[in-house]
């Protein structure tokens, strides 16, 4: 199926590893040029090489999204280089240690919301004018089933994901009539570096997660990236303000 986005420019936030890296590669396979954003320049350079290997152009933005002025500056530089993105994929998430809300420090609250929510707001505000002008835009936030189910020790994380869903719905209402769709892909678990870190030292954790899915298989980053790429396509123009489930059935009543 031709996704109809060849020749467009995308910005993928969180592109140095995991789901974001898989999204960047999937979009490049679809003929999209990609601005790759995360903190680790070394990892981004490796992804950039992969994108170029597929015959597409790429630019690296090595920046901490919590630094709003650097984020704006560096993204503007990349846009001057590669052109204005009409596709934005949001896959950044701060690492968090599970703990009850009353034990979370003020600094952790600030860091998590700045990294996971404010940066998404900043990037949408930066790119929306170009998208509405082009009369085409695709914004996809990688969310979590936690936005609806909650997650033990992750009140902040769950509320940040709920905020992202609300952000996508608001943009959908305001800008879909100008060709800009905004959606969330809800993930339960995906087999990424993040998951490996969360389950390290917990023997049996992986097995429990596999059993929590209806498919009895942890989705790969590529599984999630395929859903994101479809939502970025011209084929998905009727989907906006949606939360698309990519949980492998982990949201179902799966106790028996």
Ligand X SMILES: NC(=O)c1ccc[n+]([C@@H]2O[C@H](COP(=O)([O-])OP(=O)(O)OC[C@H]3O[C@@H](n4cnc5c(N)ncnc54)[C@H](OP(=O)(O)O)[C@@H]3O)[C@@H](O)[C@H]2O)c1
Contacts to ligand X by CB under 6 A: 14-20, 38-40, 43, 64-66, 91-94, 115, 142, 144, 187, 189-190, 192-195
Residue 7 Cβ, how far from ligand X at the closest point, in Å? 25
Is 134 tagged catalytic?
no
Residues 6 or more apart whose Cβ sits within 8 Å of residue 250: 145, 188, 189, 212, 213, 214
Helices (H), the chain: 18-29, 41-53, 68-82, 106-113, 119-134, 146-149, 155-175, 193-199, 205-212, 221-231
Residue closer to ligand X, measured from CB, 6 or 252? 252
Nearest distance from C-beta of residue 69 to ligand X, angstroms: 14
Q: In the block, which residue shows the tokens 């980053």?
A: 221
* Closest approach of ligand X to the CB of residue 180, in Å: 21
For residue 188, what are the contacts with CB-CB under 8 A and spacing of at least 6? 144, 145, 212, 213, 219, 247, 248, 250, 251
205 torsion bin: left (phi>0), alpha (psi -120 to 50), beta (else): alpha
| Residue least distant from ligand X (Cβ) | 18
Identify the active-site residue in 157, 158, 228, 230. 157
Q: Which is nearer to ligand X, 22 or 131 (CB)?
A: 22
Q: Considering beta carbons, is residue 64 or 108 the nearer one to ligand X?
A: 64
To the nearest whole angstrom, how small is the minimum distance from the Cβ of residue 134 to ligand X? 26
Catalytic machinery residues: 157
């Amino acid at each position: 199926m031709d996704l109809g986005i060849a020749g467009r420019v995308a910005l993928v936030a969180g592109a140095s590893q995991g789901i974001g890296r898989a999204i960047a590669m999937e979009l490049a396979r679809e003929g999209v040029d990609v601005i790759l954003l995360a903190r680790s320049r070394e990892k981004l350079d490796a992804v950039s090489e992969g994108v170029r290997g597929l015959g597409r152009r790429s630019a690296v933005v090595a920046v901490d999204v919590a630094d709003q002025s650097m984020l704006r500056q560096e993204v503007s530089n990349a846009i001057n280089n590669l052109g204005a993105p009409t596709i934005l994929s949001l896959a950044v998430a701060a690492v968090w240690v599970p703990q009850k809300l009353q034990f979370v420090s003020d600094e952790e609250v600030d860091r998590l919301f700045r990294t996971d929510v404010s940066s998404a707001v900043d990037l949408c505000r930066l790119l929306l004018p170009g998208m509405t002008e082009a009369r085409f835009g695709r914004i996809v936030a990688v969310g979590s089933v936690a936005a609806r189910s909650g997650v033990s020790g992750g009140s902040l994380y769950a509320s940040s994901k709920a905020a992202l869903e609300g952000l996508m719905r608001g943009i959908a209402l305001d800008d879909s009539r100008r060709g800009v769709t905004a959606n969330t892909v809800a993930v339960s678990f995906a087999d990424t570096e993040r998951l490996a870190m969360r389950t390290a030292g917990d023997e049996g954790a992986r097995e429990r997660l596999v059993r929590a899915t209806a498919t009895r298989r942890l989705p790969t980053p590529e599984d999630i990236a395929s859903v994101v790429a479809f939502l970025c396509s011209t084929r998905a123009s009727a989907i906006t303000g949606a939360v698309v489930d990519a949980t492998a059935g982990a949201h179902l009543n799966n106790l028996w």
